[in-house]
Amino acid sequence: MKIDDSILISQALKGEQTAYGQLLKKYQGAIFSFIYKIIQEKNDAEDLAQETFIKAFSSLPLFNNEFAFSTWLFKIASNNCIDYLRKKRLKTYSIDKPIESKDGTVPHDLPDPFINPETEYIESERRSQIDRAIARLPKKYQVIIVMRHKEEKSYEEISEALHIPIGTVKARIFRAREKLKKLLKEHL
């Protein structure tokens, strides 16, 4: 004889352990099958099914009898699967999209596995042009650009070393970059 879910839930809420067991027995196979279709890993699906029932039974006092218990249970299982897949998913990056950083966006700079003398010469010349442009900056901008981009110091470290507020550091870096862009455009 099948007992209605609402009766089993009210019995479980009164502390009757057999009611929990009957709810588990009634939905265990369906929940496992549902999770296994999504996860496709038996051991993980078993763990997630068990976790689904633990969450459901611990939240049983919050269950609204106006809705089907099975729908609520499957929603918990679905959320468990989503959480599992989010944790398992590897973080990937597109090499076509620029990298977002606290300083703005920066294009991906991938190393050339086939370095040749021409490439080395062009890179050396580019670095020399940048160094010459930095040398033409006013001293306060030279120092800040070197600290930020060659020594890779944080805003806080620069602020402490130069005894100036972080806002001033950010403003000087911005102005120095603008001046550098202008100087480099003149040479190109």
The pLDDT score that the predictor gives to residue 149 is 86
The pLDDT score that the predictor gives to residue 27 is 95
The full set of domains in the chain, from first to last, is 5-88 (1.10.1740.10), 100-187 (1.10.10.10)
Query: Structure tokens of 94?
Result: 């597109």
Query: What is the number of other CB atoms lying within 10 angstroms of the CB of residue 12?
Result: 20
The pLDDT score that the predictor gives to residue 121 is 84
Per-residue pLDDT of the chain (188 residues; tens, 9 = 90+): 346 888 999 999 998 999 999 999 999 999 999 999 999 899 999 999 999 999 999 999 998 888 889 999 999 999 999 999 888 875 666 677 777 777 777 776 666 666 677 778 888 888 888 888 899 999 999 999 999 988 888 999 999 999 999 999 999 999 999 998 998 887 66
Question: What is the C-alpha to C-alpha distance for residues 35 and 40, in angstroms, rounded to an integer?
Answer: 8
CB 32 within 8 A of CB 43: no
Query: Structure tokens of 63?
Result: 């269950």
Query: What is the number of other CB atoms lying within 10 angstroms of the CB of residue 148?
Result: 21
Q: What is the DSSP string of the chain?
A: -PPPHHHHHHHHHTT-HHHHHHHHHHHHHHHHHHHHHHH--HHHHHHHHHHHHHHHHHTGGG--TTS-HHHHHHHHHHHHHHHHHHHHSPP---SSSPEEETTEEE---PPPSS--HHHHHHHHHHHHHHHHHHHTS-HHHHHHHIIIIIS---HHHHHHHHT--HHHHHHHHHHHHHHHHHHHHHH-
